[in-house]
């Protein structure tokens, strides 16, 4: 079983972006969306209209400055490769701590797998959950539709 990354949030976090589980590259780097083919960071910097940054600490600071946190649905998971379709055995994260310490008002799921798990397990019954097309390189054929979905979701709390 592989272990996911720790959550990124603070007491001011209002939006929580949830993926399913970190890719192999993200686990290796110990960074969310660490694969260069993933469009997550490029979309965030473009949305906030600031110059793109490669320094991970500055990337995280951008999100926290805009009251956005990151985590994944799975705490432990078994998977070969990085595709969500390869995920087998899982253990969900416990969201009670983050929900107690931050005033989460919106959940944006990064990909279908995360969204399906949130619904199937009724993880956030009192919080709006918006599904967005995955930012992974596997979904790059949907670049414009994905960008539009993400921007509309992020606009909800601007």
First to last CA, the chain: 38
Dist CA 69 CA 44 (whole Å): 12
Q: Tokens 């290796």 — which residue? A: 28
Which DSSP symbol is given to 137? G
Q: Which two tokens stand for residue 65?
A: 């400055």
Dist CA 38 CA 22 (whole Å): 11
User: Closest Cα partner for 26 from 100, 62, 77?
Assistant: 77
| Residue 38 a catalytic site member | yes
**Do residues 27 and 6 make contact, with C-beta atoms less than 8 angstroms apart?**
no
Taking the CB of residue 72, how many other CB atoms lie within 10 A of it? 22
Q: Which of 10, 35, 36, 38 is catalytic?
A: 38
Dist CA 146 CA 152 (whole Å): 10
Active centre residues (catalytic): 38
């Amino acid at each position: 079983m592989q272990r996911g990354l720790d959550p990124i949030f603070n007491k001011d976090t209002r939006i929580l972006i949830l993926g399913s589980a970190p890719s192999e590259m993200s686990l290796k780097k110990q960074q969310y969306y660490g694969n260069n083919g993933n469009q997550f960071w490029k979309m965030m910097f473009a949305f906030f209209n600031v110059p793109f940054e490669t320094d991970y600490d500055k990337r995280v600071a951008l999100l926290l400055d805009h009251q956005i946190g990151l985590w994944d649905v799975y705490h432990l998971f078994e998977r070969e490769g990085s595709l969500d379709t390869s995920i087998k055995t899982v253990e969900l994260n416990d969201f009670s701590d983050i929900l107690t310490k931050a005033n989460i008002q919106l959940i944006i799921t990064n990909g279908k797998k995360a969204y399906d798990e949130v619904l199937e397990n009724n993880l956030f019954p009192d919080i709006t959950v918006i599904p967005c097309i995955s930012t992974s390189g596997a979904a790059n054929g949907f670049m414009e539709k994905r960008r539009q979905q993400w921007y509309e979701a992020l606009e909800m709390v601007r």
